[in-house]
Amino acid sequence: MSSTPRNTDRRTAHHPEQRGADRRSGRRPSRRPADPVERLMRIERRKARSRAIFLSVLVLFIMLVMAVLILVVMRNTKPSPQFLFIQKGKLTHYVQGDVLILRDDSVADAPSSGQVKPLVTEGMRVSRGQKLALVIPTGLERQLDELDKCEQDIVDLQLELMSQGKGSGARAIYNESAVALSSIVNLVRGDVVNQTLRNLPAYEAAMTVIIEQRSGKLAAVDFHDARLDQLLMQKQSLEQSLGLASGTLTSSQPGIVSFHLDGFEESLGIAAIESLTYPTYQDALQKAQTFQTVAQEVGSGEPVLRVTSSLEHYLALYLEGVQPADLPADRRYTIHVPSEGIEITHCRLVRADNQGQGSFAIFRSDRRVEWFSDRRSFAAELAVSETEGMRIPRVSLIDFDTSSRTASILMVTGGYTRLVPVQILDYDREYAIIDSSPDAGEDDLKPSLSAVIVANPESIGEGEFIGG
């Protein structure tokens, strides 16, 4: 039964008429089974084609994602425009130099040999006939140790009473001295970072003055405490007992007392202003930079302290790159002391001599006389020129030409940015003083106070709309 269909199919395959009849009748002609190898090859080609399409779509998707990420990053990293108002300001140019102080000093010598016990604080103004120090002979060390211990007990007891809320005004005195001491500590830290120890003696003297002035002010505060009153009486008794058996130094004239001697008290007085030469200034400056400490023990006839009688001091310094013509006599100058963060204002020019590429100048001032009474020299900066006008940050200038002093700024008007040419009157590393360009016409846009400009012009272009 199974052989009959195979015979029929074989017969049909060999008769074309039969195949034509099959096509006319709609029947599908029978085919021979395909080769397995060829079938596998077709399957592998279809898989390879599918993989290629998938990889192409994946690469296109990754490229699209990367493009979006790049746009997002570029948009987030692009600085946004910052705006500011043109304000009136001033630029000051400084020239560095070493100051040598000239003043009138009277020196007090020791009446006998012994140990020095100051009775006044450094930099204090004293009157004529006031007791300044004791020279305690050898053999009274025990009484002197008792006095030192008594003074320390007074300080400890004052702190204890202040913590209990006693002593009206004492806390304010301590806070005032703490602020002054903290500023000097910050200066010391800055010098340590810069690896310089040159100003440490000056810092030590300034801190000593502040602490001694604090002790003097606290002595006048009434804490209403019997123990403190007893210690103060004991201190006074010890001082009197030491004074009876020792030499007492008194002030021969009113002035400012200092225990730091430098040996120039007689040669660098006010009388030396006209005769002081630049070589003498250099020699004295080199010797005066060695800071003199307070003498603990002295011999008979040796200098112990000095009293500055002049109400003013004269400041001599060499200014590199500054000519005498650049220092008008009718102007008031400011000397800045960076190491201590202070200024000596209203200095008047006394003389200015041409010296090589600079000037040797002497200034007169009645400011900060007490502050510098313990030293002969210090590093300073002199404000040689000042320019006032419309001040803007230098980074807001576009195409700044230092030779012609011209530039442009992006100014905002009507909600749009406009490129406006300006003239640079003065500049430093941070700011510039500007004015309208001399080539600007009456109808041209000009800078003015309170006008809005773009502080970072690289973040926006000219003619862009920023809002009404």
CA atoms within 13 A on the CB side of 252: 9
- The DSSP call for residue 311 is S
420 has which bridge partners? 409
pLDDT tens across 415-451, in order? 899 999 999 999 998 999 999 988 887 778 899 999 9
Instruction: Decide if 88 contacts 390 (C-beta within 8 A).
Output: yes
CA 462/CA 409 separation, integer angstroms: 10
Contacts of 93 (CB under 8 A, 6+ apart): 383, 384, 385, 386, 428
Instruction: Indicate whether 386 pLDDT > 80.
Output: yes
Residue with tokens 């230092």: 402
Residue 12: the pLDDT is 45
Return the closest-CA partner of residue 173 out of 162, 183, 164, 184.
162
Instruction: Decide if 257 contacts 212 (C-beta within 8 A).
Output: no
* Domain extent listing, the chain: 1-32, 34-78, 83-89+389-459
Question: Is residue 403 classed as helix, strand or coil in its secondary structure?
Answer: coil
Mean pLDDT of 32-43: 76
Written as six digits, the tokens of 359 are 């000037």
CA-to-CA dists, residue 220 to 123, 210, 215, angstroms = 18, 16, 9
CA 365/CA 367 separation, integer angstroms: 6
Q: Going by CATH, does the domain composed of 83-89+389-459 fall within 2.40.420.20?
A: yes
| φ/ψ (deg, to 5) at 54 | -65, -45
Mean pLDDT of 293-304: 79
| Dihedral angle over CA of 438, 439, 444, 446, nearest 10 | -30
Written as six digits, the tokens of 158 are 């004052």
CA atoms within 13 A on the CB side of 207: 15
* DSSP states along 348-387: EEEEEEEETTEEEEEEEE-SSTTTTTT-SEEEEEEEEEEE
* pLDDT interval class at 8 (50, 70, 90): very low
Mean pLDDT of 142-170: 86
Residue type, 47: K
Instruction: Indicate whether 95 pLDDT > 50.
Output: yes
* pLDDT interval class at 131 (50, 70, 90): confident
Instruction: Decide if 259 contacts 122 (C-beta within 8 A).
Output: yes
CA 294/CA 302 separation, integer angstroms: 13
Return the closest-CA partner of residue 350 out of 251, 405, 416, 271.
271
Return the closest-CA partner of residue 413 out of 359, 453, 372, 440.
453
Residue 374: the pLDDT is 82
* pLDDT interval class at 23 (50, 70, 90): low
* DSSP states along 131-199: EEEEEEPTT-HHHHHHHHHHHHHHHHHHHHHHHTT-STTHHHHHHHHHHHHHHHHHHHHHHHHTT--TT
CA 361/CA 99 separation, integer angstroms: 10
Return the closest-CA partner of residue 325 out of 279, 367, 361, 376.
361
Q: Among positive and negative, which fits the CA dihedral 89, 386, 347, 99?
A: positive
Task: For the beta carbon of residue 71, count every other beta carbon within 10 angstroms.
Answer: 10
Residue with tokens 């012994």: 114
Written as six digits, the tokens of 96 are 């560095």
Contacts of 14 (CB under 8 A, 6+ apart): none
Return the closest-CA partner of residue 82 out of 364, 410, 368.
410
Instruction: Indicate whether 337 pLDDT > 50.
Output: yes
Written as six digits, the tokens of 255 are 């002035």
Residue with tokens 């500007």: 434
What is the helix (H) or strand (E) element at residue 5, kind and residue range?
helix 3-13
Residue with tokens 């502050």: 371
Residue 292: the pLDDT is 58
Mean pLDDT of the chain: 84
Residue 11: the pLDDT is 45
Query: Is the whole model's pTM more than 0.85, yes or no?
Result: no
